[in-house]
Amino acid sequence: DSGVTQTPKHLITATGQRVTLRCSPRSGDLSVYWYQQSLDQGLQFLIQYYNGEERAKGNILERFSAQQFPDLHSELNLSSLELGDSALYFCASSGGGGAQTQYFGPGTRLLVL
């Protein structure tokens, strides 16, 4: 158990819908990262938050947004969903002070029908 929690574990929805994925980092970790794992794109970095502020952005679509709250949990919002958004979405956390080991949550498996 990494100490990072993600909810829900599975999500099935329809095209055009909006969903919210939630992540709670390990106790004491200030950085939260979101990654997408899909069959065609592999593991891709989406976005990083550090202590409530956006720190880095990767290959995140404009339809996707994220935020980190004062209690340090984070949410990834996916809107206008398309079939191609079906993937495993991971949250990871680290202490945040420079490059540190990232510990991954169990992931949320999203299926868009």
Residues that bind other proteins (CB under 8 A): 2, 31, 33, 35, 42-43, 45, 48, 55-56, 58, 88, 90, 92, 94, 98-104, 106-107, 109
Report the 10 Å Cβ neighbour count for 83.
9
CB of 101 to other proteins, least distance (A): 6
End-to-end CA, the chain: 31
Name which of 13 and 103 has its Cβ closer to other proteins.
103
Least Cβ distance, residue 43 to other proteins (angstroms) = 4
Spatial contact of 89 and 44, defined as CB atoms under 8 Å apart: no
CB 102 within 8 A of CB 4: no
Residue with tokens 């390990």: 26
In this complex, which beta carbon is closest to other proteins, that of residue 48 or of residue 68? Answer: 48
| Nearest distance in Å: CB 16, other proteins | 27
Residue 104 CB partners (closer than 8 Å, separation 6+): 2, 4, 35, 90, 91, 92
Of the pair 2, 7, the CB lying nearest other proteins is at 2
Closer residue to other proteins in complex, CB, 22/55: 55
